[in-house]
Structure 1
Amino acid sequence: MANSTIAVLDIDGTLIDSNYHHAIAWYRALRSVDEIYPVWRLHRLIGMGGDQLVTTLGGEDLERRVGDQAREQQGREVDALLDEMAPLPGARELLVAIKERGHRLVLASSAQERHVDVFLDKLNARDIVDDWTTSADVEASKPAPDLLQLALKKLGAPTDAPSVMIGDSVWDIEAASKAGMPAIAVRSGGFGDDELQKAGAIAIYDTPGDLAEALDQTPLARNS
């Protein structure tokens, strides 16, 4: 397609309102193995894959002692909160607007596969998106660029194909930078504009719906 761009979207936290649920799930999971960390500190790491979060939080010692057990329990805690997670305003409309402009669309998530399945259903997105990833697809999740590079690969596109990342956390933006993608941010991750801009975001919007309305002012403008 002439002038077609690949939109690589984070789903968990960017399209689905789930960040604070994940923070609580991590708090409960760590508390179950007798490790107490303030919820605000956990929230600052949401958007980073679980394979990296525990080490970043408490170092190699914490990872060695409780990493696998905490991740497994965190998944169960998220299971219990799924019904409380809902699409953010304009989330599905954003997906439709991207496709209507002739672009390809892939969801690059580091969430667990069963959770991504639920999110796809909540968005009624299976017939809109071209493909998606989960944490099972790569060894290293965000802020490593692997998921974004895999997203392009799933569409048969080279790593230097015209693309743009849409995410909600500094970890999304950092992953995009490492993958050589411009990145657009929404504020649902709870990070400050200054943090998102410092990480490399080229634009910031309140909600997916706000981005959908402004899409023609971004690299995802309508194909000519």
Structure 2
Amino acid sequence: MLGTMSTPGSPRGVLFDVDGTLIDSSYLHTVAWWHAFNQKGWDVPMSRIHRLIGMGSEQLIDELLPADRDRDQDASIGDAHGSLFSVHWPGLTPTRGAVELLRRCAEEGLAVVLASSSNAAEVAAMRTALDVDDVLTAVTTATDAEHSKPEPDIFAAALEAGGLRAEETVVVGDARWDVVAARRLGMDTVGLGSGGISEAELREAGAVEYYADPQALLEAFDGSPLARRAA
């Protein structure tokens, strides 16, 4: 984890989800989960999987498989997903405008924290793709939270790592689970469509604003919640 900011008092900041928000990986995760389920004999439609991307692995498996299943398979399904997704690490690319948005936030004086609940190896691969470590205040991984989204643990850990307070921080995410987790800590979420989730679903979950992708948010930055945090 990177060091916290050294400015006096509590800085204002933004917590960024990574998968689907900053890295174009939501559909890669969907395909990896689909293969992982199939390897264990489960026929789960990709459409159902995609809607749950961003949720923690244990919760995702619980949502998609029968409650009376043999749960001894769950860990191996999760491991298979991780192995299948790792094949795509070398080709991971930022979503449109992601790098520029992160740098703009830092230029505006916001503490920029990557709030990922992926494992350390996956986060390292995504950080390599983004190449913005010089503007990051802190980064979280799965080891920083006991429970994954929609529980708020990873955002609580990100606030602590960045030396931030919830009332002075906004979340940017692409999944309804980002919105739900942020609301539980009293934080507003700006929803992005870069993960394939609709504006209607993100707003229904409680997103205060919606943009098609980081580039659209960057272009509207001056009137966005991010600019109001920086003011």
TM, length-normalised to structure 1: 0.93
Is 1:219 matched with 2:225?
yes
The answer to whether the 8 A contact 1:10-1:108 is kept is yes
**Quick one: distance in 2 between partners of 1:179 and 1:85?**
31
Most deviating of 58-67 and 144-153:
58-67
User: 1:110-189 counterparts in 2 under 5 A?
Assistant: 110-158=117-165, 160-189=166-195
Match of 1:127, SS state, is: helix
Aligned residue number for residue 85 of structure 1: 92
User: 1:1-224 counterparts in 2 under 5 A?
Assistant: 4-62=11-69, 64-158=71-165, 160-221=166-227, 223-224=230-231
1:113 to partner: Cα distance? 1.2
**Quick one: distance in 1 between partners of 2:80 and 2:74?**
10
Structure 2 counterpart of 1:212, one-letter code? L
**Quick one: distance in 1 between partners of 2:161 and 2:70?**
31
Aligned residue number for residue 3 of structure 2: none
1:216 to partner: Cα distance? 1.7
**Quick one: distance in 2 between partners of 1:186 and 1:152?**
21
**Quick one: distance in 2 between partners of 1:85 and 1:69?**
24
Structure 2 counterpart of 1:151, one-letter code? A
What stretches of structure 1 move > 4 A for 4+ residues in a row?
A: 1-4
**Quick one: distance in 2 between partners of 1:10 and 1:201?**
14
Residues 22-60 of structure 1, C-alpha deviations (whole Å, 9 max, x = no match): 000001111111112011111111011112111121244
Structure 2 residue ranges without an equivalent (≥5): 1-6
1:155 to partner: Cα distance? 2.0
Structure 1 counterpart of 2:214, one-letter code? P
Match of 1:132, SS state, is: strand
The count of residues paired between Structure 1 and Structure 2 equals 223
Residues 187-222 of structure 1, C-alpha deviations (whole Å, 9 max, x = no match): 012112111111011111111111112122122217
1:61 to partner: Cα distance? 3.5
The answer to whether the 8 A contact 1:30-1:36 is kept is yes
Residues 135-165 of structure 1, C-alpha deviations (whole Å, 9 max, x = no match): 222121111111001101112334x441000
The answer to whether the 8 A contact 2:103-2:135 is kept is yes
Aligned residue number for residue 4 of structure 2: none
Q: 1:43 to 1:203 in 2, by over 3 A?
A: same
**Quick one: distance in 1 between partners of 2:78 and 2:67?**
15
Structure 1 residue ranges without an equivalent (≥5): none
**Quick one: distance in 2 between partners of 1:62 and 1:30?**
13
Match of 2:208, SS state, is: strand
Most deviating of 2-11 and 46-55:
2-11
1:81 to partner: Cα distance? 1.8
Q: 1:114 to 1:63 in 2, by over 3 A?
A: farther
TM, length-normalised to structure 2: 0.91
**Quick one: distance in 2 between partners of 1:136 and 1:4?**
24
Identity percentage of aligned residues: 37
The answer to whether the 8 A contact 1:12-1:18 is kept is yes
Q: 1:39 to 1:103 in 2, by over 3 A?
A: same
